[in-house]
Structure 1
Amino acid sequence: MKQKIFTFLLIAAAGLTACKKNDSNQPDLREFDEQKIQAYISANGLTGFTADTTKDGTGTTGMYYKIISQATGDTLKYSDNISLVYTLKSFDGKYVAADTISNHFYGYLGQLTAVNQLTGFRLPPGLQLAIHNLLQYKGSSMRVLIPSRLGYGVNGFGSGSISNVNTRIAGNQSLDLYVHVISDQDIYDEQVIKNYIAANNLTGYVKDPLGYYYKIVAPGTGAIDEISEFTTVTTTYTGYLLNGVGFDTGSATTATTLTPYSLITGVEDALQKHASKGTSISILIPSSLGYGAGARTSIPGNSVLKFDFQITDIKQP
């Protein structure tokens, strides 16, 4: 009987040992993320990435980064107000947000991970750490690979099935991000407008001294100075972001009346200085002459805008 009990205990002990060994062979989350990042780097032929050695309490962050351009000056603090554009892709490729026209953030660096009240989206904590610890300066850009535990964790982010494309980031997905922290918004907007003109092979646009670009698509029949800030203008018009997303298209075919003084600065100035009855005019407006840093329902903060106006009638006050 003693022999049988001893034999049973040996078998049980061996079983427990096997279980422990099997458990120890399972990677923890840090190891899991590291394996995924290394596989991603290899599969995509990425070069020039550096492991972040910043300590996060239980080790290093596990992020890998590549500085594309780095400016100098005062290092960024969490209390600093910043404007940035970004792209984001999950490692499985099922979530891709690559549009830097719509992917804007403006606010305190320390609030970067807060939920955007207009879109419901929030940026991952790893990006906040990377900007603060690695990128450090306004006017700089980087690409960073963020482990899932500094991304959206085990639960992921978004709505719908994980099989859907661009609606949900699956759990335990590491992230590939590009970020550019803007130093001078006016200079950045100017380059955005120039890039847009070049990419679309546009011609005929002239830069007004105020800072916007305009093109007279069809000249008017009246005098250029006949529109004042209080003139009632009858027009059809459209407003778009430079990615082609319309934010004001309801008056594209239905005439509406407006007065320049009630419009954003870029439109008000362009209509008064370059338009008359019968004019068709296209305007590319930097954010400082548009809605500025404040985001609206369909307009991110610091957005360059495109307006097209066809003026059919004017009435003097």
Structure 2
Amino acid sequence: MKQTIFTLLLLSTIGFVSCRKTGTEPNIVQYDQAQILNYIKANGIKGMHQDTVGGDTSGIYYKLIDSAIAPSDVPLTYSDEVSFVYTLRSFDGKYISSDTILNQYLGYIGHLTNVAFPAGLELAIINDLRYSGRSMRVLIPSYLAYGVNGYGSGSINVAGSHIAGNQCLDYYVHVINKQPDTVAQYNYDEQVINKYLTAQNLTGYLPDGGVYYKILTKGTGTDPITDNTTIEATYNERLLNGNVIGGANQTTGVDSTSFDVPTLIPGVARMLENHAVKGTVISMIIPSGQAYGISSPSGTPANACLRYEFTIVDVSP
């Protein structure tokens, strides 16, 4: 009887073990790596490197886009306050966020996970991007992203509303500057404005100290616009993604507005002083460094370049 019971227990144990997952099945780290390698191959991505800082691999793959480093550059640390823009795509393509005008972060690198960025992005900026003013593409494994729960409250069946569980992520990130860094800010603004002019097929814009302007209607007034001038104008103010964030424009039936020139943002004030009189209609694309910079008003992203159209109705010396 004892032998029969022992035999039954032995057979049960063998059966139970045979039903368990074998040691050859991948864990999540191995699964993520396979997904990333397949993604690289399927999308023809060249030049990717593994993050091996510290002698081991985090599972992150990255490619530097702007890799120039000046001798005076200092590596980023978790305590640095930075400004960066980004795009994001989940590997399944169901979540895509590509508007770098709105996708902005201003804060400390070490606080990224506090505001719902994945731990892998924070790690990649420190380990792989390393310096302000540079760009990279980074593929983040799911276990360093949002894990099994994913991210967002929407349905995974609605594009752009929810990142599904166990999704690896494809980020582009450009660290504009480490505060303060006016050179990196200027270079970023120049790049953004030139891409915008090309994408919108805008011609006839002339550069003036980082601002690009175009006279749409030549003015007839004789009184110059100065720091002591009050102007009456209709205008509109837009982000470069087309979102209107302010304005007084005749086409919308809104009355014109009076301004003391020193109260205008620096780029606008300078362009009006240099190129406008009563009757002038002028279009301006203002770099963020001469707009609101990092101290943006509510509803305006940090480091946003802006487009204005001003019609000068009257000038009061």
Report if aligned partners of 2:51, 2:127 keep a CA contact under 8 Å in 1.
no
Q: Does 1:182 align with 2:182?
A: no
TM-score between both structures, scaled by the size of structure 1: 0.86
Moved more, 68-77 or 148-157: 68-77
Kindly provide the CA deviation profile for residues 165-202 of structure 1, in whole angstroms up to 9, marking residues without a partner as x: 11211121111112222351012212222222233232
Query: Quick one: distance in 1 between partners of 2:248 and 2:27?
Result: 54
Identity of aligned residues (%): 49
Structure 2 SS opposite 1:113: helix
Corresponding position of 2:203: 203
User: How far apart, in 1, do the equivalents of 2:208 and 2:66 lie?
Assistant: 31
Counterpart Cα distance in 2 of 1:224 and 1:208: 22
1:89 alignment counterpart: 89
Q: Which residue of 2 aligns with 1:139?
A: 133
| Matching residue of 1:244 | 242
Q: Does 1:220 align with 2:199?
A: no
What letter matches 1:166 in structure 2? G
- Distance in 1, Cα, partners of 2:228 & 2:277: 13
In 1: Cα distance, 2:223 partner to 2:139 partner: 54
How far residue 25 of structure 1 moved from its aligned partner, in angstroms, is 5.2
Q: Does structure 2 retain, via aligned residues, the 8 Å contact 1:49–1:66?
A: yes
CA distance in 2, matches of 1:8, 1:224: 105
Q: CA deviation at 1:103?
A: 2.2
Name the SS for the 1:94 alignment partner: coil
Letter in 2 for 1:275: A
User: Runs of 5+ in structure 2 lacking a partner?
Assistant: 178-183
Any idea what the Cα deviations from partners look like across 1:94-125, whole Å, max 9, x if unmatched?
1112232332223322223332xxxxxx4222
1:303 matched to 2:307: no
Structure 1 SS opposite 2:75 = coil
Match of 1:108? 108
| Contact 2:248/2:256 (<8 A) preserved | no
**Deviations 1:107-159, CA, capped at 9 Å, x for gaps:** 322223332xxxxxx42221111111112122322211100111122222222
8 A contact 2:293–2:304 mirrored in 1 = yes
How far apart, in 1, do the equivalents of 2:143 and 2:284 lie?
Answer: 45
User: Deviation at 1:228?
Assistant: 5.4
* Structure 1: unaligned runs, 5 residues or longer: 116-121
C-alpha distance after superposition, 1:257-284 (max 9, x if no partner):
1213322122222233322332211111
Contact 2:94 2:159 survives alignment (8 Å): yes
Instruction: Give the aligned partner of residue 292 of structure 1.
Output: 293
Whole-angstrom CA distance in 2 between matches of 1:55 and 1:33: 20
State the alpha-carbon separation in 1 of the partners of residues 140 and 288 from structure 2.
31
Shift of 1:31: 2.1
Cα–Cα, structure 1 residues 185 and 123, in superposed 2: closer, same or farther, change >3 Å?
same
The within-5 A match list for 1:26-65 is 26-55=25-54, 60-65=57-62
Q: In 2, distance between residues paired with 1:289 and 1:278? A: 24
Structure 1 residues 200 and 231 mapped into 2: Cα distance closer, same or farther (>3 Å)?
same
Query: d(CA) in 2 for partners of 1:290 and 1:109?
Result: 24
Stretch moving more, 156-165 or 253-262 = 253-262
Change (3 A) 1:242 1:229: farther
Q: Distance in 1 between matches of 2:157 and 2:39?
A: 20
The answer to whether the Cα contact below 8 Å between 1:224 and 1:273 also exists between their aligned partners in 2 is no
CA shift for structure 1 position 217 = 0.5
Contact 2:147 2:165 in 1 (8 A): yes
CA-CA distance at 1:227 after TM superposition: 6.4
Structure 2 counterpart of 1:287, which letter?
A: S
* Contact 1:227–1:314, Cα closer than 8 Å, also in 2: no
Report how many aligned residue pairs link the two structures: 305
**Distance apart, 1:224 and its partner CA:** 5.4
Query: Partners of 1:231 and 1:258 in 2: how far apart?
Result: 7
RMSD across aligned C-alpha pairs, in angstroms?
2.4
- Secondary structure of the 2:147 match is coil
Displacement of 1:24 after TM fit? 4.0
Name the amino acid aligned to 2:65.
I
Amino acid at match of 1:67: L
Distance 1:15 1:166 in 2: 45
